[in-house]
Chains A and B, each alone.
Chain A
Amino acid sequence: MTALKSSPLALRLTAFLVLLGLIATVFQSFAPAYLSENNLHALLRHMSVNGLTAIGLTFVIVVRHFDLSFPGIASLGAMTLGWMLANDFTLMQSVVGGIAIGLVAGLINGSVISYLRLPDIVTTIATGGVAVGLSYFYSNGTSISENFFMSGILDLNDSRFLSLDMPVVILLAAAIVAFIVLHCTRFGRAFYATGENRRSAAFSGIRVKAYVLTAFGLCGALACLAITLLVASSGAANVTAGNQLMMPAFAAVYLGAALFGAPSIPATLGGTLLMSAMLNGFTLLAIPYYYSDAIVSTVLIAAIGIFDPKLTTLLGGLFSRQPAR
C-alpha cells in the first residue's frame, strides 16, 4: 500500500485495471460470449475507430479547446472516400482524398478559431453543420458502395498484419506516432504549454496560434482516418457515418484524463478501451443504442466531474481527512 501511495502512476494504473476488470466481469456474467476470441476482435476493431478519433481530439483538448465538428467532418470524409472509389480513383487516392478533406476542414476550424478568435464551440458546431451539408452533395444523401468490393477497401478491415487485425495495427501506429510527438518532442511541449498557460507560452516564444491550428487540423484528419475504417467495416459510405463518433471520443479523452491525471495519448487509449468495452457489451446484450448512449453520456459527465480540479481536491480532502493509523 505504501508503494502505491508513493507512486501515483501505479495507483492510477491499478484504478484503471480494476475498472476494466469490473466492466469485463459484469458483461461476462450477463453475456458469456463477451470474452470470446471473436468478440474481443470485434471489440478491438470498434476501439480502433473510436481511438483514432479520440487521439485527434486529444490534441484539441490539450490546447484547451473544443471541437464539435469532427462527426460532421468525418461524414464528409466518408462520402468523399465513397465517391472517389465509385468514380474509379485508386484505393490509395481515395483514402488520401478523404483524409485530406478532413485535414482541410480541421485547418479551417483552427484558423478561424486561433487567428480570427471566434469562439470554438459555436464555430465548430457551425463548420460541422456545413460539413454535413456538403456530404449530401455527392449522392443527394444516399449511401455509396459502388466498386467497394473491387477497390480493396474492405481489406482495411479484414486483413491482418502480424496476426493483428488491420484496424488495430493502424490505431497502434497512429498512437505510437502521436505518443512520440506529444510526449517526446519539442512540439508536444509546445502543445501542452499552449494549453496550460497560453500567455506564458507566447511569452516563451511559442507560436501558440500555429499550435492551435495544428491541433484542429490533426483532429479533422484523424476523424477522417477513423471513418475510413468504419466505411471499410460496413462496406458502404453514408452521410450519417460520423454521427456515432462524438460521444465515445469525448468520453474517452475525459475519462482517460480523469483516470491518469491529465490528457495524454496513453490516457486517451485507456479511456477508449473502457468506452469500447462498455459499448461492445451493450451491443452484445442487445441494449438499444439510445440507452447505451445515455449510459455513455452519464460516464462522460462523471469523467468531466472528476477531471475538474475543484472536485478532485474535494474528494482528496475526504480521503486525507481519514485518521491515520
Chain B
Amino acid sequence: MAAILDMKGIEKQFGVVKALDNADFSLEAGEIHALLGINGAGKSTLIKILSGVYTKDAGEIAIAGESVQIGTPAAAIACGIASVQQHPELVDDFTGIENIFLGQESPQPGLGRRVDRRALKLQAEQLLKRFPIEIDLEARVGEMPAVDREIVAILHALSREHIRILILDEPTSTLTEREKTSLFHLMRQLKAAGIAIIYITHRLEEVFEISDRFTVFRAGRRVTTLTCHEARTSNISIPELMLDEKPGDIFPPKAKSAAGEALLDVRGLSRPGLFSDVSFTLRRGEILGIFGLVGSGADELSKALFGVIRPDAGTITVKGKQVALKDPHDALRQGIFLVPGDRRTEGLTLSRDVIFNMTLAHLGKASFLGGLLRFGSNRKASAGLAQRVALHPMTLDRPVSAFSGGNQQKIVIAKGLYRDADIYIFVEPTVGVDIGARATLYALMRELSAHAGVLIISSDCDEVHGVADRMTALYKGRPVFVPDQRPSRDQLLSAGIMGARA
C-alpha cells in the first residue's frame, strides 16, 4: 500500500528539551493508526507539527509522495489534514449543523450575506450520507452527550471535502463504553471512505479493538510500528516498548518496614457526579496509590482532600482527629500538602524566583513575628531544600518558569518540605517530566514516605503500580475493590479502565 503521509527526520526542540529527535512516521491511506507513548514521548509534538500548531526545526513531510510545508493550521487543512482536539472547542449555543459549518456558512465572502440554513441542512445530510451515523444535528451542542460532541467535532473537521488525514487526540478519554462503540462505528465508516486516521490513546485495549497498526514513540523517537496482528502473535509487551527501560527500573524499592500510624483516614467520601463512597487509610511510612483515568474523579478527589472541593458526605480524619477542610489554608494547617496535577497554574508563581516559591506555602515560618521577612534564613533554607531535591540548575535567583518540568515539580515538592507536611498528595506527578527526572522524583517520594504518608494519584497505571506500596483504582468516581491492595499491573489496569474486579 502507498503511504499517504511520510514524515522523516523530524526534529523539534523546546529550550533544553528535545521533544522530537530524528523522528519518523508513516501512515497508509485508509488505515486507523494508533499513536502510543508515555507523556513526553513526543507524540503530541508530532501531531502538533502535523496540524500546523508548531513548526518543525528540521525534517521532511510528504503527503502522497509530494513534499509539503506545513507552517500554519490553515496550511495543514489545505494539505488535507484535519485534527480534533482532546476537548473539542464547540459553540455550545449553536446546533450541530451550525457547528459543523462554522466559518464556512457561505461560499462567497463578504458581510451581510445571509446564512442559508436550508443549504447547510442539505450539506449536513450529504455528510451523513457519506458517513452514516445516528445523530440529531438539530440539537444544541451544549445539550449533547459527550460522544455526539465528539462526532460533531469530527464532522466539522471533515466538512471540507478534500480531507484525507484525520487526527484524533484521545477521543475516548471522557466517553462511556457505549459511547465509545458509537465513536468506533464512525471511525470505521471514515476508514471505509478512504480517510486515514491517526489516533492517540492511552488505553491499550482500544488499540487492538479499533486500529490496524500502531506506532510507539519514546523519548522523541519512533520505537516501532507493528500491525495489531503482528503484535498479537509475537507476544510483545507494549508497555515495555513505551517505557525507556523495563518497567520497574525507574522505580525505587518498595517500603521495607511495616507502615506506622494512620495519618489520613477517609471514610465514604462522596460528591455526586465527581466521586462517591471513597474510603482508604494512609499510614506513615508508605506510599498509597490511586489509579484513575481522566474523568474518573481522581483529580477531584485530591482537591477534596485539600479543601478545594467540599465533599457532600463522608469523613476525613487526620491523625485521629476528624476535620472539615474549608480551604487549602486549613488543609496545610493539618499537615496536608498537595502537589497539584497542573503545577504551572496551581503549584507555582512562574514569574518569581525559587526562594519566593519555596517559602510561599509557609509565610509564617518565612517571617518574624511582625511579618518582616527573614531574607537571610529564607535563602539558606531554600538552598538546603534545593540540595535535598537535587534542583538543577542549582540557582535560587532565576524565575521558576525557566526550569524544566521535572525541576519545577521538585520546587513544588520543596514547598511541601518547607511546610514540614506529614501527608503528601501527588497528582499526576510526572506529566511533562522526562524519564531521567522521573526516577529522581520517584526516589524523592520514597524518601518522603520514610517520615510521612504519600498518596499518589495518577492516570499512569505503571507509575502507580511501580511506586505505590498499596494501591487501588478509581473508576467513574468509585473505588474498585482490589483484594489485599497489591494487585498485579494488569489487574490494576483493568480495574481502572473497565471497573473490573480483580
- Name the A residues within 8 Å of B345 (CB-CB): 197, 199-200
Assess whether B338 is interfacial by the CB under 8 Å rule: yes
A-B pair count, CB < 8 Å, reads 73
Shortest CB–CB separation between residue A263 and chain B, in angstroms? 12
Which of A189, A192, A206 is most buried by chain B, counting CB atoms within 10 A of its CB? Answer: A189
- Contact yes or no, B415 A204, CB < 8 A: yes
Chain A residues whose C-beta falls within 8 Å of the C-beta of B350 in the assembled complex: 196-197
**A196 touching B349, Cβ below 8 Å:** yes
Q: Which of A180, A185, A186, A200 contacts B348 (CB 8 A)?
A: A200
Interface size on A, residues (CB 8 A): 21
Q: Are A205 and B349 in contact (CB under 8 A)?
A: no
Whether A185 touches B371, Cβ cut-off 8 Å, given contacts A190-B363, A202-B328, is yes
New A-B pairs, 5, CB < 8 Å, besides A186-B363, A200-B345: A190-B363, A197-B345, A201-B360, A203-B308, A205-B328
Whether the pair A206, B329 counts as a contact (CB closer than 8 A) is: yes
Contact-residue bracket for chain B: 20 to 34
Do A186 and B346 contact each other (CB < 8 Å), given the known contacts A196-B352, A204-B328?
Answer: no
Query: Are B348 and A197 closer than 8 Å at their CB atoms?
Result: yes
In the complex, whether A207 has a CB less than 8 A from a CB of chain B is yes
B371 touches A187 (CB 8 A): yes
**Chain B residues near A202 (CB-CB < 8 A):** 308, 327-328
* A162 within 8 A of partner (CB): no
Q: Is A184 on the interface with B (CB-CB < 8 A)?
A: yes
**A153 at interface by CB-CB < 8 Å:** no
Q: Are B367 and A193 touching (Cβ within 8 A)?
A: no
CB distance from B276 to the nearest CB of A (A): 25
26 A-B contacts (beta carbon < 8 Å): A185-B371, A186-B363, A186-B364, A186-B366, A186-B371, A189-B356, A189-B363, A192-B352, A196-B350, A196-B352, A201-B349, A201-B360, A202-B327, A203-B328, A203-B338, A203-B346, A203-B347, A204-B332, A204-B360, A204-B361, A205-B328, A205-B331, A205-B332, A205-B361, A206-B329, A206-B360
* Chain A contacts for B352, CB-based, 8 A: 192-193, 196
On whether the beta carbons of B351 and A205 are closer than 8 Å, the reply is no
CB distance from A94 to the nearest CB of B (A): 31
* Residues from chain A with Cβ under 8 Å of B348 in the complex: 197, 200
Contacting residues of chain B (311-345) with chain A, CB-CB under 8 angstroms: 327-329, 331-333, 338, 340, 345
CA distance A199 to B306 in the complex (A): 13
For B258, list chain A residues within 8 Å (CB): none
A205 to B127, CA, bound (A): 53
B236 CB–A CB distance under 8 Å: no
CB distance from B417 to the nearest CB of A (A): 14
User: Complex: how many Å from CA A30 to CA B118?
Assistant: 71
Set of chain B residues within 8 Å of A206, measured between Cβ atoms: 329, 360, 363
* CB under 8 Å from chain A, chain B span 353-377: 356, 359-364, 366-367, 370-373
Least distance between A82 CB and chain B CB atoms (Å): 36
B351 contacts across to A, CB distance below 8 A = 196
Is there an interface contact between A193 and B327, defined as CB atoms closer than 8 Å?
no
Query: When chains A and B are docked, how far (Å) is the Cα of A196 from the Cα of B328?
Result: 18
Q: Is the CB of A185 within 8 A of B360?
A: no
Please determine whether A200 and B373 come into contact, CB atoms closer than 8 angstroms. Answer: no
> With a CB–CB cut-off of 8 A, which chain A residues contact B367?
185-186
Residues of A within 8 A of B340 (CB): 203
Identify A189's interface contact among B333, B346, B360, CB under 8 A: B360
A199 with B329: in contact, given A189-B373, A204-B361, A205-B361 (CB under 8 Å)? no
Complex CA distance for A192 and B115, rounded to whole angstroms: 49
- Find out whether the CB atom of A203 lies under 8 angstroms from the CB atom of B373: no
Q: Which chain A residues border B346 with CB–CB below 8 Å?
A: 199-200, 203
Q: In the complex, what distance in Å separates the CA atom of A201 from the CA atom of B349?
A: 8
B360 touches A184 (CB 8 A): no
**Chain A residues whose C-beta falls within 8 Å of the C-beta of B331 in the assembled complex:** 205
Q: A200-B348, A202-B327, A204-B328 are in contact. Are A185 and B361 (CB under 8 A)?
A: no
With A203-B338, A204-B360 known to touch, is A185 a contact of B329 (CB < 8 Å)? no
Name the 7 nearest CB pairs between A and B, nearest first.
Answer: A186-B363, A185-B371, A205-B332, A186-B367, A204-B361, A205-B329, A204-B360
Our pick among B306, B347, B359, B372 for the contact of A200 (Cβ within 8 Å) is B347
Of A181, A184, A207, which is within 8 A of B329 by CB?
Answer: A207
- Residues of the B chain whose Cβ atoms lie less than 8 Å from the Cβ of A207: 327, 329
Residue among A186, A189, A202 with most chain B CB within 10 A: A186
**Complex contact B373–A186 (CB within 8 A):** yes
> A185 to B373, Cβ gap below 8 A?
yes
Which chain A residue has the least Cβ–Cβ distance from B363? A186
Min C-beta distance of A138 to chain B, whole Å: 38
Interface string of B200-238 (1 = CB under 8 A from A): 000000000000000000000000000000000000000
What separation, in Å, do the CA atoms of A185 and B362 have in the docked complex? 13
Contact residues in A for B356 (Cβ distance below 8 Å): 189, 193
Closest chain B residue to A180, Cβ basis: B372
A189 to chain B, nearest CB (A): 6
> In the complex, what distance in Å separates the CA atom of A190 from the CA atom of B306?
19
| Least distance between A188 CB and chain B CB atoms (Å) | 8
Interface contact A185-B328, CB-CB below 8 Å: no
* Residues of chain B with a CB closer than 8 A to A184's CB: 372-373
The residues of A that contact B361 with a CB separation of less than 8 Å are 204-205
Q: Which residue of A lies closest to B366 (CB)?
A: A186
CA distance A262 to B447 in the complex (A): 39
Measured in the bound complex, the distance between the Cα atoms of B371 and A202 in whole Å is 19
Give per-residue flags for A119-150: 1 if the beta carbon is below 8 A from chain B beta carbons, else 0: 00000000000000000000000000000000
